[in-house]
Amino acid sequence: MTPEDEKETTRRQKARNLVVGGTLLFFVILFYAITIARIGGQAG
């Protein structure tokens, strides 16, 4: 693997980590919101 390839690999890994991290954070918030919505629905 050339130095350019290694640089590109690092860039892609970093970008993928950010996307996966962002997606996980989004789902944490979404599941919290779903729980609140469903509890609210049952209470009503």
Partner 1 sequence: MSVSANNSPVTAETSEPFGVPAPALAAEAARSMPADWRDFLTLTKPRVLTLVIFTGICGLLAAPGSIHPVLGFTAILAIAMGAGGSAAINHWWEADIDAGMKRTANRPLPSGRMRRDDARDFGIFLSLVAIGLMGLANGWLAASILAVAVVYYAVIYTMWLKPRTPQNIVIGGGAGAFPPMIGWVAVTGEITAMPILLFAIIFFWTPPHFWALALFMKSDYAKVGIPMLPVVAGEKATRRQILLYTIALTPIVIAPWIIGGTGAMYGVTAVVLSAVFFAYAWKVGTRTKIEDDQMLPEKRLFKFSILYLFILFGALVVDRVAAYQGFTGLGLFT
Q: Select from 24, 23, 30 the least CA-distant residue to 38.
A: 30
Tokens 């469903």 sit on residue? 38
Q: Which amino acid is at 23?
A: T
Q: Which of 1, 3, 42, 43 binds partner 1 (CB under 8 A)?
A: 1
Output the smallest distance, CB 38 to partner 1, in A: 7
Give the x/- contact pattern for partner 1 in 3-42, rule: CB under 8 A.
--x--xx--xx-xx--x----------x--xx-xxx-xx-
User: Which amino acid belongs to residue 18?
Assistant: L
What is the C-alpha separation between 15 and 42, in angstroms, rounded? 40
Contacting residues toward partner 1, per CB under 8 A: 1-2, 5, 8-9, 12-13, 15-16, 19, 30, 33-34, 36-38, 40-41
